[in-house]
Chains A and B, each alone.
Chain A
Amino acid sequence: MTPSRLAVGLAALAFVWLGCDSLPGKPTEAERYRRPSEILDFESLYAVNCAGCHGSEGTLGPARPLADSLYLELIGRERMGRVIAEGVPGTAMPTFLDANGGTLTQAQIDAVRDGLFENWWKPPTKAAARKQLPGYAQPAAARAARGGDAFSKYCADCHGADGLGPEAPGERKANGKKGGAVLDPNFLALVSDQMLRTAVIAGRTDLGMPDWRATSDGGPMTEPEINDVVAWMSERRP
């Protein structure tokens, strides 16, 4: 056997060998099992733990949209991590940290939190816009008595003067331009004041509810008005 033939033979063998190694049935590293606690990529974690309520794209779920830069700006990274870990007692938000009886490790919660901000948070374009943003937490100094006026001024146009939504069910348009019954006692019983405040400030833009700057009255609500209307709504809770 001449050296050239030997070389051709070896090349053919190597080809077959490589061919074996790239067959479609060969298990890939991607298919390899990973323990649940080792899954640290945002997409997988979000798809299994968050998409059910917050929507698979971060919008149009029954719970607050997370693909909402304004909301992410409002809550901030640190608080977001805490909400995921501890949940919000009394509401539908469950606790996720394993030490609290949830299913995720702290590292996974950090990954979800960071992923939310990386994917859906854009820094405010103007420094001024950031300053305008009302505070996240509801202050104790709110005056509930004045909240009724603020509600009539900013909210009643969509949510009805009594806060029970448009009279006939058909009046509420499918595109959500008309708001629903936010003073329904059962609704109020199921949500926290913080949820109300967040909704007033950040809106639910995916369902047509504007944020605090673009109310039906045209102008932004002032921070005291926001405080008052949330306190007033809270008082309507049975």
Chain B
Amino acid sequence: MAESKSGPTSGPTNPRVVPPVTRRDFLFKLGLGLNVIAASLVAIPVVGYVVSALFHRSAQQAWIALGDLDRFPVNETRLATYRNPFTRPWDGVTADIPCWVRRTPDASGQPSFQIFAINCAHLGCPVRWFPESRLFMCPCHGGVYYEDGTVASGPPPRGLYEYAYRVKGGRLEVQGGETPNLAEPV
């Protein structure tokens, strides 16, 4: 503003001068261009940093030992806890993931299990197992599941999420790493 006042003859208002590409124009456009490049040099890493949580998808499942087989009696459902393998040192107790382990009668000599996520399929609240009535109940909106994880009553749109499992060296292992939800039911 101050410059346009001080130099009224140097502007394009002077009809005799055909405005060539002045130094000022050039510098302005160059500056603009440089800034676009610089801004993208900053913005791309910033966006990439923020949305990086969207990637690294494949490495988020791993086999984790839950304990010896005899910790889980046949026909009973027990709470087991594992440490999430994809964890930061400052995760604290949030990386201790509980799950319900139901041991069903052995099929053809092989121990067989159902491992349920603790999270209700409705809105993720922690379901609790009641061995007396053989039901899982959710304290939030009253979803109820039978012992095999199917919906007994209430709002859940599907049965309990089930983790994959395997038996290795007399120990039960669960495939975990991610909290299941309706978008990614394990």
Contacts and interface: CB of A to CB of B under 8 A. Distances in A.
Contacts of B33: none
Interface in A77-136: 94-95, 101
A101 B76 CA distance: 8
A94 B132 contact: yes
Contact residues on A (Cβ < 8 Å of other chain), bracket: under 10
Interface in A32-74: none
Contacts, number: 7
A102 B85 CA distance: 28
A95 B131 CA distance: 9
A95 B132 CA distance: 9
A120 B86 CA distance: 52
B83 interface: no
A54 to B, nearest CB: 15
A101 B132 contact: no
Nearest to A92: B132
Interface string B49-78: 000000000000000000000000000111
Contacts of B76: 101
Nearest to A93: B132
A94 B76 CA distance: 13
Contacts of A95: 131
A101 B131 CA distance: 8
Interface of A: 94-95, 101
Interface of B: 76-78, 131-132
7 contacts: A94-B131, A94-B132, A95-B131, A101-B76, A101-B77, A101-B78, A101-B131
